[in-house]
Structure 1
Amino acid sequence: MDKIIICISKFLILFLVCTFSVFAGGSKKKEETTALKKQIYGLHKVDDETSSIPYLERYLELSQNELYFKLLYAKSLLYRNDLSVPKPDEPAEDRINKAKIIQKNYNLASKLFQENVLHLEKVRPRDPNLGRWYYLWAFSEWFSDNKEKSIKLFLKAVKLDYRLTESYYNVASLYESLGQWKDASLYWRKFEKAEKELEEED
């Protein structure tokens, strides 16, 4: 009988220790994610997206399914300003390596935008910021040299949010860079018209 009581006591102690460890671990994780959120929001509030990147990466390690923070991470990569820009007087190999790093960064941004903007549209089709996310995604495709895709995304952005009149400006610029002058002219006119309508509305 004493052996049974001792075994039950040991089991209860082990159970309590395990339960405490789980709760303590969960509490520690919650504290860390709360602190990271505060840091990320603070940096984005002052437009310091670059400094928020390591905090976002850690946050997404702890909370892998956070849609909004994945989008913030994509935005931070798009606005990143800590990568070395190739200079004309540098050796060719250095310029190529720097260009590859920059390209890889924009490619990752566009991949993240694609996955998460489409998911956002699926789960929250009336999200008021959906147009803005499409607008940022369009830039990441532009910087990744996917000009045709970028044009489609800018047009989707302004369709979702008519206030994003700069989309027409960007589309016109993209068509000019592609040598499609007729299309460029059309979108310059659309931009001017949309800007005028916005001014009248204000």
Structure 2
Amino acid sequence: MDKTSTYTFKFVCILFLSTQMVLAGGSKKKEETTALRKQIYNLHKVDDETTSIPYLERYLDLSQNELYFKLLYAKALLYRNDLSVPRPDEPAEDRINKAKLIQKNYNLSSKLFQENVLHLEKVRPRDPNLGRWYYLWAFSEWFSDNKEKSIKLFQKAVKLDYRLTESYYNIASLYESLGQWQDASLYWRKFEKAEKELEEED
């Protein structure tokens, strides 16, 4: 075997081994993402969003452009129940640190909703769940203490999906918390009317 043939043979062997390794790695990644997806779906089916958080984080590490799973992650952060709530009998520093963690969590949730709900609206403007995602985004803004923004998002949610009548209730509550009694009264009436219309429709 001459020198050229030897080099060609070595190159082909290296190329073959590299391809096999890439295929094996791709196959392993696919298996892991499939298992994670199944785990996430099962947890969200039983409303156990908190437990799904580490699975979602790992899944999004592997598949960074998965719009739907980014929205599920934002929802899981919104509903998470594993963060300690500050107690009045605790030292002030502990209460402040716990409050900061909770605030950071809601801020991340609202940031993820904003990025991904707007992207969803752009790529799939007729998505039947778009109103529901706006509704959840509105809550994340409310919990982040962005009340005015939350009101606008609830308005958008019910505009996209008239069945989200709770949006009117939430808007009325937000206006009350802001001391805007006239606006609150208007939305209480809208809520009552929308609920009545839904009942008649059923």
1:173 aligns with 2:173: yes
Runs of at least 4 residues off by over 3 Å: none
Q: How does 1:63-78 map to 2 (within 5 A)?
A: 63-78=63-78
What's the TM-score, normalizing by structure 1? 0.99
Cα deviation, residue 5, structure 1 = 1.9
Deviations 1:99-119 (A, max 9, x none): 000000000000000000000
Deviations 1:87-140 (A, max 9, x none): 000000000000000000000000000000000000000000000000000000
Amino acid at match of 1:97: N
Cα deviation, residue 26, structure 1 = 0.6
What's the TM-score, normalizing by structure 2? 0.99
Distance, in Å, in 2 between the alignment partners of 1:97 and 1:18 is: 49
Unaligned runs of 5+ in 2: none
In the other structure, the counterpart of 2:112 is: 112
Superposed CA RMSD in Å reads: 0.6
Amino acid at match of 2:181: W
In the other structure, the counterpart of 2:191 is: 191
Cα deviation, residue 177, structure 1 = 0.3
Q: Percent identity?
A: 87
Cα deviation, residue 144, structure 1 = 0.2
1:135 aligns with 2:135: yes
Cα deviation, residue 21, structure 1 = 0.6
Unaligned runs of 5+ in 1: none
Distance, in Å, in 1 between the alignment partners of 2:100 and 2:35 is: 34
Number of residue-to-residue matches in the alignment:
202
Cα deviation, residue 8, structure 1 = 1.4
Q: How does 1:43-54 map to 2 (within 5 A)?
A: 43-54=43-54
Distance, in Å, in 2 between the alignment partners of 1:122 and 1:107 is: 23
